[in-house]
């Protein structure tokens, strides 16, 4: 199959016929087009595997304007000669060996091509091919013209003509160990599928696209480690540079990933383009709320204040209401997330995935309680639920004052609420806006039972699935996969089967049993120090994720004492920044999606581990959410995963780990 990077969406004339020929090639080929501005390049490159390349040009000049037997030199002959000169010498600009080149002469037959070749191309490494030959037998002839290049030459070509596909080593956990003592640096590039996805629909939608809807949308579904965040970040950078006068927005679910991504991009590229905004969804929603309502919203720091109000009003008016206070708060957030306008709409809405049923009279009571609690919050303390901000914006009648973007990219889209997507659509430029989504259905533990159709997005026929993981090893992904298998496997929309072919085998995840939660903290420090010494990994190459079963203050204090005050980066602290280039990143499990490291240490997950096994106290919905959360945490690891716990693993998953 031939992959076009970027896709040829508006092919017509000679380009359309070229595409038809190239799609006939048997085997895996890549047709690359340089999108870097300011440098000359062939029209496109044809690539087979990684090292076989061919440079191609299409010349539409007619032979009667190029005929070398003419008495006077024509403007077309001069343009043709200049094009051939650039084609014959372009390798010298990048210091690579001569590459084979082909010019398809759209206005010449075979005899005319021979005449032109004798006059202009002999000895210059350039082949000429007539339009008829190209169309009739191009699929058979092109593979014969491909020429093998060295790895160094391939890296130079990629770095010069396709720099947007390069991944600096600091941005990836991918490693290639090659015994080579020469003084050179290994360069990393996006996999062709990742690069293809990052360059989808780079041209603005044409008239047909505009007629089909208000905006174009693309969804990339990928397993953990398939490079979704890299794809979204690369695409965002490409769009920002390609359209400097247009606003590009990249929305990410959690604070640690935004901080980590910005830190890495700034170290690799320097300043992020001024027209590109990378921000968490909640921060962006809050910013839009301030823009529209001209004040700063206030939210409860903890749920206790809201839960106390729920208890107060239910005691007075609804003592027989069965759901617990936590369930009712979740239902209030559901009302906001779904942008339910009134009681009538609440009676009609589909509640699948909420985990408990409500009869009509119970819904009536819940709605009344929702209005009582939210009104009391606002009147008593000037507070709003976080989930109400996007609902407020969606229901407002003055959307013209909101910040508008030409391109919006969403990473970890499986965690976004319907109200967030509705707000995104309201702020997307109506005629030329593009929406690009990246998601991992295997990790969807926050907004379960949602579908793209339910959030108002049509992604049918616009979805790309990435099944190969480049971050982790077969042993780690297989263990996480086995743990998750059987829970969501029946629905392909909820489960994406990884492709293990070609993955490094690796070592199984390690389980370390400690005597107490305090001992688990000390043991975690010992494990980090041991890996730092034995594997020669820096602290920046490791990540510590902690759950609710840990004393965070003690954990941070112990880590700083062991490794240094400036060597611990708390990614959940908005004020914190890395105090050193070699800092250990720490974050809560709930906020870890999108993060990655060579070695990942998990601690304080005792409750989560217990609740991955069916019991009377764990509902089916909770079981699924916990399994997805554990899957996400495990797949943050690139090469080593260590789980430290003060309680033994449930028998159901114990066999997935090595034990010490």
pLDDT, tens digit, for every residue of 350-388?
887 777 888 889 999 999 999 999 999 999 888 999 999
Q: Which residues contact residue 369 at a Cβ distance below 8 angstroms, ignoring those fewer than 6 apart?
A: 310, 313, 314, 317, 318, 321, 328
Q: How confident is the model at residue 180 (pLDDT cuts 50, 70, 90)?
A: very low
pLDDT at 561 (0 to 100): 96
pLDDT at 486 (0 to 100): 61
- Cα angle at 87 between 77 and 5, to 5 degrees? 120
Percent of the chain surpassing pLDDT 70: 91
Q: How confident is the model at residue 183 (pLDDT cuts 50, 70, 90)?
A: very low
- End position of a domain, from candidates 101, 129, 163: 163
Angle at which helices 110-120 and 75-94 cross, to 10°: 60
**Mean pLDDT, to the nearest integer, of 415-425?**
92
Q: Which domain holds residue 480?
A: 474-659
Q: Which residues pair with 599 in a beta bridge?
A: 542, 640
* pLDDT surpassing 90 at residue 507: yes
pLDDT at 178 (0 to 100): 36
**Mean pLDDT, to the nearest integer, of 179-193?**
59
Task: Say if CB 541 and CB 656 are below 8 A apart.
Answer: no
**Mean pLDDT, to the nearest integer, of 221-241?**
88
Question: Could you give the dihedral angle defined by the CA atoms of residues 410, 412, 417 and 421, in that order, rounded to the nearest 10 degrees?
Answer: 20
> Per 3-state DSSP, what percentage of the chain is helix, strand, and coil (rounded to 5)?
45, 15, 40
Report if residue 292 sits inside a domain.
no
Count the residues in the chain: 660
**Mean pLDDT, to the nearest integer, of 546-557?**
94
Burial class (CB in 10 A: 0-12, 13-18, 19+), 197: buried
**Mean pLDDT, to the nearest integer, of 585-589?**
94
339 in a known ligand binding site: no
Whether 523 and 655 map to the same domain: the answer is yes
Nearest to residue 50, comparing CAs of 231, 140, 176, 134? 176
More confident residue, 485 or 252: 252
Burial class (CB in 10 A: 0-12, 13-18, 19+), 412: buried
Q: Say which range, 94-103, 104-113, 250-259, 421-430, has the weakest mean pLDDT.
A: 94-103
Phi/psi for 510 (5° steps) reads -105, 135
- End position of a domain, from candidates 383, 416, 433: 383
Ramachandran region, residue 165 (left: φ > 0; alpha: ψ -120 to 50; beta: rest): alpha
* pLDDT surpassing 90 at residue 521: yes
Helix (H) or strand (E) segment spanning residue 153: helix 151-161
Report if residue 426 sits inside a domain.
no
Please, what's the largest Cα pairwise distance for the chain?
Answer: 103
Report if residue 282 sits inside a domain.
no
pLDDT at 207 (0 to 100): 41
Q: What is the pLDDT of residues 124-148, one digit of tens each?
A: 889 999 999 999 999 999 999 999 9
Nearest to residue 463, comparing CAs of 472, 452, 473? 452
Whether 364 and 481 map to the same domain: the answer is no
* pLDDT surpassing 50 at residue 576: yes
CA dist 298 and 382 (Å) reads 7
Domain containing 49 — which CATH number? 3.40.1350
Whether 37 and 143 map to the same domain: the answer is yes
* pLDDT surpassing 50 at residue 348: yes
223 in a known ligand binding site: yes
Q: Is residue 452 helix, strand or coil?
A: coil
Whether 531 and 646 map to the same domain: the answer is yes
Q: Which residues pair with 48 in a beta bridge?
A: 29, 52
Q: Is residue 424 helix, strand or coil?
A: helix
Cis (ω within 30 of 0) for the bond into 6? yes
Report CA-CA distances (Å) from 391 to 281, 324, 338, 339: 14, 24, 8, 5
Helix (H) or strand (E) segment spanning residue 483: helix 474-484
Angle at which helices 281-293 and 418-427 cross, to 10°: 60
Whether 478 and 379 map to the same domain: the answer is no
Report if residue 504 sits inside a domain.
yes
465 in a known ligand binding site: no
* pLDDT surpassing 60 at residue 192: yes
Whether 28 and 152 map to the same domain: the answer is yes
- Cα angle at 11 between 5 and 17, to 5 degrees? 100
224 in a known ligand binding site: yes
Helix (H) or strand (E) segment spanning residue 29: strand 29-32
Nearest to residue 310, comparing CAs of 293, 335, 327, 290? 327
Domain containing 544 — which CATH number? 3.40.50.300
Q: Say which range, 48-52, 176-180, 486-490, 588-592, has the weakest mean pLDDT.
A: 176-180
Report if residue 175 sits inside a domain.
no
Most confidently modeled range among 191-200, 238-247, 567-576, 619-628: 238-247
Beta strands in 214-306 (DSSP E): 216-222, 248-252, 276-280
Whether 508 and 368 map to the same domain: the answer is no
597-603 and 584-588 as β-strands: parallel, antiparallel, unpaired? unpaired
Whether 363 and 495 map to the same domain: the answer is no
Whether 497 and 633 map to the same domain: the answer is yes
Report if residue 227 sits inside a domain.
no
Q: How confident is the model at residue 188 (pLDDT cuts 50, 70, 90)?
A: confident
* CA-CA-CA-CA torsion sign (597, 600, 604, 605): positive
* CA-CA-CA-CA torsion sign (162, 163, 165, 166): positive
Percent of the chain surpassing pLDDT 90: 48
pLDDT at 199 (0 to 100): 82
* pLDDT surpassing 90 at residue 114: yes
229 in a known ligand binding site: yes
Phi/psi for 256 (5° steps) reads -55, -40
* pLDDT surpassing 60 at residue 182: no
- End position of a domain, from candidates 383, 416, 444: 383
430 in a known ligand binding site: no
Number of domains in the chain: 3
**Mean pLDDT, to the nearest integer, of 202-212?**
47
Q: How confident is the model at residue 395 (pLDDT cuts 50, 70, 90)?
A: very high
CA dist 71 and 77 (Å) reads 12
**Mean pLDDT, to the nearest integer, of 617-628?**
79
Phi/psi for 586 (5° steps) reads -130, 145
Most confidently modeled range among 198-207, 212-221, 424-433: 424-433
Report CA-CA distances (Å) from 108 to 93, 112, 131, 135, 297: 30, 6, 7, 13, 69
Q: How confident is the model at residue 497 (pLDDT cuts 50, 70, 90)?
A: confident
Report if residue 615 sits inside a domain.
yes
Whether 509 and 640 map to the same domain: the answer is yes
How high does pLDDT run on average in the chain? 86
pLDDT at 502 (0 to 100): 82
Report if residue 448 sits inside a domain.
no
Q: How many CB atoms lie within 10 A of CB 613?
A: 15
Whether 485 and 373 map to the same domain: the answer is no
**Mean pLDDT, to the nearest integer, of 621-626?**
80
Whether 373 and 495 map to the same domain: the answer is no
* pLDDT surpassing 50 at residue 46: yes
């Amino acid at each position: 199959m031939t992959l076009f990077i970027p896709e040829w969406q508006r092919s017509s004339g000679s380009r359309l016929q070229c595409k038809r020929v190239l799609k006939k090639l048997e085997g895996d080929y890549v047709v690359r087009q340089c999108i870097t501005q300011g440098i000359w390049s062939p029209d496109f490159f044809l690539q087979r595997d990684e090292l076989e390349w061919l440079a191609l040009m299409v010349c539409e000049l007619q032979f009667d304007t190029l005929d070398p037997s003419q008495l006077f030199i024509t403007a077309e002959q001069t343009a043709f000669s200049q094009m051939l000169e650039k084609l014959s010498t372009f390798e010298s600009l990048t210091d690579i060996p001569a590459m084979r080149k082909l010019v398809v002469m759209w206005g010449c037959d075979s005899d005319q091509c021979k005449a032109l070749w004798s006059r202009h191309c002999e000895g210059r490494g350039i082949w000429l091919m007539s339009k008829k030959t190209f169309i009739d037998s191009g699929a058979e002839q092109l593979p014969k013209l491909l020429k093998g290049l060295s790895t160094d030459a391939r890296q130079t070509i990629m770095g010069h003509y396709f720099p947007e596909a390069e991944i600096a080593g600091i941005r990836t956990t991918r490693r290639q160990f090659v015994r080579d003592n020469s003084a050179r640096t290994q360069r990393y590039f996006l996999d062709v599928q990742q690069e293809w996805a990052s360059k989808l629909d780079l041209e603005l939608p044409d008239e047909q696209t505009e007629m089909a809807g208000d905006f174009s949308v693309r969804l990339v579904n990928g397993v953990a480690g398939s490079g979704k965040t890299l794809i979204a970040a690369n695409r965002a950078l490409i769009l920002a540079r390609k359209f400097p006068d247009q606003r590009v927005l990249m929305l990410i679910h959690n604070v640690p990933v935004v901080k980590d991504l910005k830190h890495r991009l700034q170290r690799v590229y320097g300043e992020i383009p001024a027209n590109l905004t990378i921000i968490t969804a909640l921060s962006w929603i809050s910013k839009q709320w301030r823009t529209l309502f001209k004040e700063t919203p206030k939210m409860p720091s903890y749920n206790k204040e809201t839960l106390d109000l729920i208890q107060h009003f239910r005691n007075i008016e609804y003592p027989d209401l069965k759901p617990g206070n936590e369930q009712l708060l979740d239902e209030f957030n559901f009302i906001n997330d779904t942008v339910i306008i009134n009681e009538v709409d609440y009676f009609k809405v589909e509640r699948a995935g909420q985990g408990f049923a409500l009869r009509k009279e119970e819904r009536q009571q819940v709605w009344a309680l929702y209005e009582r609690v939210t009104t009391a919050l606002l009147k008593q303390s000037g507070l709003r639920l976080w989930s109400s901000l996007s609902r407020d914006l969606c229901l407002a009648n003055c959307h013209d004052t909101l910040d508008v973007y030409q391109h919006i990219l969403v990473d970890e889209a499986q965690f976004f609420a319907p109200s967030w997507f509705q707000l995104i659509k309201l702020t997307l430029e109506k005629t030329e806006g593009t929406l690009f989504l990246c998601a991992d259905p295997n990790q969807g533990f926050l907004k379960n039972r949602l579908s793209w159709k339910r959030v108002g997005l049509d992604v049918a026929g616009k979805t790309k699935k990435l099944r190969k993981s480049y971050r982790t090893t077969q042993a780690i992904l297989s263990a996480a996969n086995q743990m998750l298998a059987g829970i969501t496997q029946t629905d392909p929309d909820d489960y994406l089967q990884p492709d293990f072919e070609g993955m490094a085998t690796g070592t199984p995840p390690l389980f370390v049993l400690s005597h107490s939660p305090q001992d688990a903290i000390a043991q975690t420090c010992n494990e980090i120090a041991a890996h730092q010494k034995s594997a020669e990994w820096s602290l920046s190459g490791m990540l510590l994720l902690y759950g609710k079963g840990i004393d965070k203050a003690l954990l941070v204090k112990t880590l700083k004492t062991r490794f240094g005050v400036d060597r611990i980066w708390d990614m959940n602290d908005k004020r914190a920044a890395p105090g050193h280039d070699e800092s250990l990143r720490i974050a809560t499990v709930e906020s870890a999606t999108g993060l990655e490291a060579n070695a990942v240490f998990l601690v304080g997950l005792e409750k989560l581990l217990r609740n991955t096994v069916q019991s009377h106290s764990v509902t089916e919905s909770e079981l699924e959410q916990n399994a997805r959360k554990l899957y996400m945490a495990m797949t943050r690891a690139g090469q080593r995963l260590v789980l430290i716990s003060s309680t033994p693993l449930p028998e159901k998953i114990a066999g997935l780990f090595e034990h010490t």
